[in-house]
């Protein structure tokens, strides 16, 4: 069984946009992978004119919100850094117990990499302004920049959503049989950057060793 | 007759999957585009809690709620699963007034009625190179795999349809707080005309990856407008239509929002409602809640045409937003017919028109003026006459002349041409009032009676209250207009207005004495004494024009000469014809009263 990976387009956003953007992307992916009986739930973004769909599973929503909170905490400690969140779907295989291992093997069959570039744009009169020149009226230019960034982010987010839809349509053969008839049928895991970048890389390396398959970028 | 309700065992599993796939696709598309087909939703727009899921709703693991009845009528898809299912989402907009260039490009129907534009075309099809035969020997795993892929495909469809521009239009129409002059309809067919080249240039195509299904494949594709901003899909109103309870002339109407200030030069006409309040001059003319005036508010240059419309009541609800001074004009540029009464005026002098063109304004503004008119004639006595003048007596008519004369200067602030305008429009206003209700007219009558029985007399003496209102309302301020009034019976006022007991009492007990009472101030007595005598005379006044020998009142006997003299002077300002006419009407009134309760009248007089 193949393992597919989808590297989504990088999004440039600000701190206050992280929650909505991540909720939109994660829920959209899960909705397309929750192949059990679901009652779709339309959610309108507050920051953008985008409506995405949730599978309506309360546990999924709780888990996603929890991971997003952890990620936001991490971003606050590591500002102005590019980061990546990984959503992976796996199946559990009971490995035959041996003398040394009694683990339940996880085999991930799909990886989703959400690339974010969280930039903390300074407000007006800030000395850390990216636009270092002394602006006579920085308020207006800052607001214009923000609106432009917002529009760009909305367009990019739409692209990401279409990217997800295109991927789920094109890649279907690697999906294992539906184990559960209700809700989220496949177990999944959301991995956020850890306290250090190196640790984050190590986490990903460990995942790859566990799954036994190298990550293949689509 | 769909498969779910009437399963046909002979159909293969594949056929069943395909047919259900078609239905599910149609359900998703229509549920996301046609507000009227949506089942009950909660506030977030999601399917409300369903305790028991129908078996048909479990197909493809996507629970959408009850299928619209319209879908059941489309069961013909089951007849031939090979035919494509083409779902056209059509935007319907108002008529040919649209200036959108899109209308000229791909309007399928237009001109005068509505413009229909296909904004999306979904094509769901089971493509099979050969006639589909009932597959045999296929394992269950194959069907499961196909079914799984179709689940994913429908999930993709569900997500994608919410990212397209048409979903925004759907949400606009689903909004309960706004209304629009466009609508979305759908058309399902197996064959349709292809888009023109011009249409294709502005549309985008998106195809989902087909799902291989044994001998064929299931495909979904969509052609849609990339942007709908060219269609000018603006809300008509930010507020839901409401019923206006304080319609024109309603006593419940807030006077402060009804009438403009007299500073606008409207005081000329003595519309009785004036006393209810005066608006500030700065905002006066445009803030009346009534349809035809609020329309004038919105279109100040258009006010001259207000009286031309007889249909404001029909537009009462649409007019409601006009009450808000902040509403931009262009919002109502299409769809609403509020504007006809307020269409651009051809008048060469809109400002002056405004002061006079709206008879209601002019009438309202000078309500209290008539009260002071009698002063030039009878001094203080005239003031005393004011309540008396509520009596629809001919004696109240003379003061009209100086009253109207007095107001003429203010009305003359407008060009004289306005007077003719008022003349011509007075009748129209009456027609308007007549077509709607007599409330305003009645109110006019009521209030007029408070201030001047002359006016009520004028109104009541018209052939019909409605017409009388139309004629007199515009003529109240103008003597020349008064001359043309036909007053058939002053008692019509009482008939119309039964709430003014004061006026009715005056009618019974004082009308006969008005004539002599008017003459009283001419005798030269002190004002106070004159008032006292006048009161006595009024109390003992015999019936109007009654034979003096039948009356116990001494005033009539003792003052025939003075009465005549006073009458001659009193009527100087009036035309003889009017006086005679009024005399005639009063005589009729007297006869009527006498016939009913002649003894009671005498008794009242004696007391």
pLDDT digits (tens, 9 = 90+) for A10-45: 999 999 999 999 999 999 999 999 988 899 999 999
Nearest residue on chain A to B152, alpha-carbon basis: A32
For domain B10-37+56-94+114-130+138-225, say whether CATH 3.30.900.10 is its number: yes
Q: What is the predicted pLDDT for the residue at A106? A: 82
Q: Do A35 and B156 touch (CB under 8 A)?
A: no
Nearest residue on chain B to A55, alpha-carbon basis: B62
Q: What is the predicted pLDDT for the residue at B490? A: 36
Question: Do you know the residue count of chain A?
Answer: 218
Average pLDDT over residues B78-101: 74
Q: What is the predicted pLDDT for the residue at A194? A: 78
Using CB atoms, pick whichever of B45, B152, B163 lies closest to residue A32.
Answer: B152
Domain extents for chain B?
10-37+56-94+114-130+138-225
Residue B60, min C-alpha distance to chain A (Å)? 8
Share of chain B above pLDDT 90, in %: 13
pLDDT tier for residue B96 given thresholds of 50, 70 and 90? low
Residue B10, min C-alpha distance to chain A (Å)? 27
Higher pLDDT residue, B65 or B388? B65
Question: Does A155 touch chain B if contact means CB atoms closer than 8 Å?
Answer: no
**How far is the C-alpha of B233 from the C-alpha of B180, rounded, in Å?**
8
Q: What is the predicted pLDDT for the residue at A96? A: 62
Taking 50 as the threshold, does the pLDDT of residue B331 lie above it? no
Q: What is the predicted pLDDT for the residue at B158? A: 96
Higher pLDDT residue, B312 or B164? B164
Buried b (16+ CB within 10 A) or exposed e, A82-94: ebbbbbbbbbeee
Residue B16, min C-alpha distance to chain A (Å)? 19
Question: Does A159 touch chain B if contact means CB atoms closer than 8 Å?
Answer: no
Taking 70 as the threshold, does the pLDDT of residue B370 lie above it? no
Using CB atoms, pick whichever of B45, B47, B155 lies closest to residue A31.
Answer: B155
pLDDT tier for residue B139 given thresholds of 50, 70 and 90? confident
Question: Does A177 touch chain B if contact means CB atoms closer than 8 Å?
Answer: yes
pLDDT tier for residue B257 given thresholds of 50, 70 and 90? low
Q: What is the predicted pLDDT for the residue at A144? A: 87
Please answer whether residues B107 and B199 qualify as being in contact, where contact means their C-beta atoms are separated by less than 8 angstroms: no
Task: Name the A residues in 105-144 with CB < 8 Å from any B CB.
Answer: none
Taking 90 as the threshold, does the pLDDT of residue B372 lie above it? no
pLDDT tier for residue B74 given thresholds of 50, 70 and 90? low
Q: Do A169 and B152 touch (CB under 8 A)?
A: yes
Other residues' Cβ atoms within 10 Å of the Cβ of residue A180: 13
Residues lower than pLDDT 50 in chain A: 125-129, 131-132, 198, 216-218
Taking 90 as the threshold, does the pLDDT of residue B295 lie above it? no
For the entire predicted model, the pTM comes to 0.53
Average pLDDT over residues B470-487: 43
Average pLDDT over residues B306-332: 39
For domain A4-121+150-211, say whether CATH 3.30.900 is its number: yes
Give whole-number Cα distances, B533 to B249, B528, B529, B536, B555, in Å.
Answer: 39, 9, 6, 5, 10
Please answer whether residues A113 and A7 qualify as being in contact, where contact means their C-beta atoms are separated by less than 8 angstroms: yes
Domain extents for chain A?
4-121+150-211
CA dihedral B468, B470, B471, B475 (to 10 degrees): 120
Q: Do A40 and B148 touch (CB under 8 A)?
A: no
Q: Pairing mode, if any, of strands A4-7 and A104-118?
A: parallel
Where is A6: in which H helix or E strand?
strand A4-7
Question: Does A25 touch chain B if contact means CB atoms closer than 8 Å?
Answer: no
Taking 60 as the threshold, does the pLDDT of residue B163 lie above it? yes
**How far is the C-alpha of A18 from the C-alpha of B18, rounded, in Å?**
41
Question: Does A1 touch chain B if contact means CB atoms closer than 8 Å?
Answer: no
Q: What is the predicted pLDDT for the residue at A23? A: 95
Instruction: Say which residues have a Cβ less than 8 Å from residue B568's Cβ, sequence separation at least 6.
Output: none
What own/partner pairs with CB < 8 Å and gap ≥ 24 does B595-601 have? Answer: B601/B508, B601/B543
Q: What is the predicted pLDDT for the residue at B543? A: 76
Q: What is the predicted pLDDT for the residue at A98? A: 61
Most confident by average pLDDT, A6-20, A81-95, B3-17, B43-57 = A6-20
Q: Pairing mode, if any, of strands A104-118 and A11-13?
A: parallel
**How far is the C-alpha of B273 from the C-alpha of B260, rounded, in Å?**
11
Q: What is the predicted pLDDT for the residue at A18? A: 94
Query: Dihedral of CA A177/A181/A183/A189: which sign?
Result: negative
Nearest residue on chain B to A37, alpha-carbon basis: B61
Average pLDDT over residues B574-602: 84
B interface with A, Cβ–Cβ below 8 Å: 44-47, 50, 53, 58, 61-64, 144, 148-149, 151-153, 155-156, 158-160, 162-163, 167-168, 171, 208-209, 211
Count of A–B CB contacts within 8 Å?
Answer: 75
Give chain B's mean pLDDT: 61
Nearest residue on chain B to A179, alpha-carbon basis: B148
What own/partner pairs with CB < 8 Å and gap ≥ 24 does A38-42 have? Answer: A38/A183, A38/B61, A38/B62, A38/B63, A39/B46, A39/B47, A39/B50, A39/B63, A40/B46, A40/B62, A40/B63, A40/B64, A40/B158, A41/B44, A41/B46, A42/B44, A42/B45, A42/B46, A42/B162
Nearest residue on chain A to B65, alpha-carbon basis: A39
Q: What is the predicted pLDDT for the residue at A127? A: 47
Instruction: Say which residues have a Cβ less than 8 Å from residue B576's Cβ, sequence separation at least 6.
Output: none
Give whole-number Cα distances, B53 to A132, B37, B147, B396, B515, in Å.
Answer: 61, 19, 20, 80, 88
Higher pLDDT residue, B62 or B348? B62
pLDDT tier for residue B209 given thresholds of 50, 70 and 90? very high
Q: What is the predicted pLDDT for the residue at B383? A: 44
**How far is the C-alpha of A61 from the C-alpha of A81, rounded, in Å?**
26
Best A6, A26, A28, A35 member to test B by mutation, with max B CBs in 10 Å, is: A35
Q: What is the predicted pLDDT for the residue at B147? A: 92
Please answer whether residues B457 and B490 qualify as being in contact, where contact means their C-beta atoms are separated by less than 8 angstroms: yes
pLDDT tier for residue B531 given thresholds of 50, 70 and 90? confident
Average pLDDT over residues B541-554: 58
Best A45, A56, A169, A218 member to test B by mutation, with max B CBs in 10 Å, is: A169
Q: What is the predicted pLDDT for the residue at B574? A: 64
CA angle centred on B96, ends B92 and B97, rounded to 5°: 105
Q: What is the predicted pLDDT for the residue at A152? A: 94
Give the ranges where B191-239 is alpha helix by DSSP (H): 197-202
């Amino acid at each position: 069984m193949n393992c597919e990976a989808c590297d989504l387009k990088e999004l440039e956003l600000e701190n206050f946009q992280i929650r909505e953007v991540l909720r939109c992307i994660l829920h959209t992916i899960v909705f397309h992978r929750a192949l059990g009986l679901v009652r779709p739930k339309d959610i309108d973004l507050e920051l953008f004119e985008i409506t995405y769909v949730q599978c309506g599973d309360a546990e999924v929503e709780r888990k996603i919100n929890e991971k997003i909170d952890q990620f936001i905490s991490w971003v606050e400690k590591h500002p102005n850094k590019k980061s990546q969140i990984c959503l992976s779907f796996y199946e559990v295989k009971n490995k035959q117990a041996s003398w040394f291992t009694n683990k339940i093997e996880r085999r991930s069959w799909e990886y989703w990499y959400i690339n974010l570039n969280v930039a903390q744009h300074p407000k007006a009169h800030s000395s850390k302004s990216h636009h270092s020149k002394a602006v006579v009226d920085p308020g207006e230019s800052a607001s214009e920049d923000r609106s432009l960034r917002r529009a760009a982010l909305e367009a990019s987010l739409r692209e990401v959503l279409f990217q997800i839809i295109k991927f789920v349509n094109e890649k279907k053969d690697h999906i294992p049989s539906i184990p559960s008839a209700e809700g989220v049928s496949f177990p999944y895991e959301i991995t956020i950057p850890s306290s250090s970048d190196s640790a984050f890389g190590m986490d990903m390396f460990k995942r790859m060793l566990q799954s036994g398959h190298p990550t293949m970028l689509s | 007759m769909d498969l779910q309700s009437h399963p046909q065992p002979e159909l293969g599993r594949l056929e069943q999957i395909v047919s259900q796939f078609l239905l599910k696709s149609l359900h998703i598309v229509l549920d996301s585009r046609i507000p009227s087909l949506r089942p009950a939703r909660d506030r977030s727009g999601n399917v409300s809690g369903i305790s028991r899921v129908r078996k048909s709703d479990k197909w493809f693991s996507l629970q959408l709620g009850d299928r619209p009845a319209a879908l059941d009528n489309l069961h013909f898809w089951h007849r031939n699963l090979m035919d494509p299912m083409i779902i056209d989402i059509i935007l319907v907009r108002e008529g040919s007034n649209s200036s959108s260039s899109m209308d000229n490009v791909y309007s399928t129907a237009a001109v005068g009625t509505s413009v229909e534009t296909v904004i999306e075309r979904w094509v769901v099809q089971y493509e099979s190179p050969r006639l589909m035969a009932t597959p045999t020997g296929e394992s269950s795993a194959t069907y499961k795999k196909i079914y799984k892929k179709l689940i994913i495909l429908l999930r993709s469809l569900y997500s994608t349809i919410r990212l397209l521009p048409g979903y925004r239009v759907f949400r606009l129409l689903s909004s309960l707080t706004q209304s629009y002059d466009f609508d979305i309809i759908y058309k399902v067919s197996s064959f349709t005309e292809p888009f023109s080249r011009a249409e294709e240039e502005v549309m985008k195509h998106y195809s989902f990856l087909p799902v291989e299904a044994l001998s064929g494949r299931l495909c979904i594709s969509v052609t849609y407008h990339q942007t709908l901003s060219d269609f000018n899909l603006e809300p008509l109103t930010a507020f839901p239509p409401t019923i206006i309870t304080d319609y024109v002339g309603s006593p419940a109407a807030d006077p402060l929002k009804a009438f403009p200030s007299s500073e606008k030069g409207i005081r000329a006409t003595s519309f009785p409602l004036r006393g209810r309040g005066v608006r500030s001059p700065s905002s006066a003319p445009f803030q009346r809640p009534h349809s035809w005036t609020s329309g004038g508010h919105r279109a100040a240059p258009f006010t001259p045409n207000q009286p031309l419309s007889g249909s404001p009541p029909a537009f009462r609800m649409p007019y409601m937003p006009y009450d808000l001074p902040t509403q931009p004009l262009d919002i109502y540029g299409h769809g609403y017919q509020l504007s006809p009464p307020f269409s651009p005026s051809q008048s060469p002098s809109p400002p002056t028109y405004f002061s006079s063109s709206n008879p209601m304004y002019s009438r309202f503004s000078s309500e209290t003026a008539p009260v002071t008119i009698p002063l030039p004639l009878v001094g203080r006595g005239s003031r005393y006459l004011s309540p008396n003048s509520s009596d629809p007596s001919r004696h109240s008519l003379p003061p009209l002349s100086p009253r109207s004369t007095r107001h003429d200067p203010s009305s003359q602030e407008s060009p004289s041409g306005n007077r003719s305008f008022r003349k011509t429009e007075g009748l129209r206003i009456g027609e308007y009032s007549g077509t709607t209700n007599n409330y305003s007219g009645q109110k006019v009558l009521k209030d007029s009676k408070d201030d001047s029985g002359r006016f009520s007399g004028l109104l009541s003496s018209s052939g019909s209250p409605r017409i009388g209102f139309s004629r007199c309302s515009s003529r109240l301020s103008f003597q020349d207009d008064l001359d043309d009034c036909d007053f058939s019976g002053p008692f019509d006022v009482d008939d119309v207005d039964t709430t003014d007991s004061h006026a009715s009492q005056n009618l019974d007990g004082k009308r006969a004495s008005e004539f002599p009472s008017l003459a009283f101030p001419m005798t030269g007595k002190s004002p106070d004494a004159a008032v006292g005598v006048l009161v006595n005379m009024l109390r003992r006044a015999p019936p109007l024009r009654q034979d003096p020998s039948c009356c116990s009142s001494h005033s009539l006997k003792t003052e025939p000469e003075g009465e005549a003299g006073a009458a001659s002077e009193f009527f100087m300002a009036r035309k003889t014809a009017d006086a005679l006419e009024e005399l005639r009407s009063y005589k009729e009134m007297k006869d009527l009263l006498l016939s009913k309760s002649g003894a009671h009248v005498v008794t009242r007089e004696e007391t």
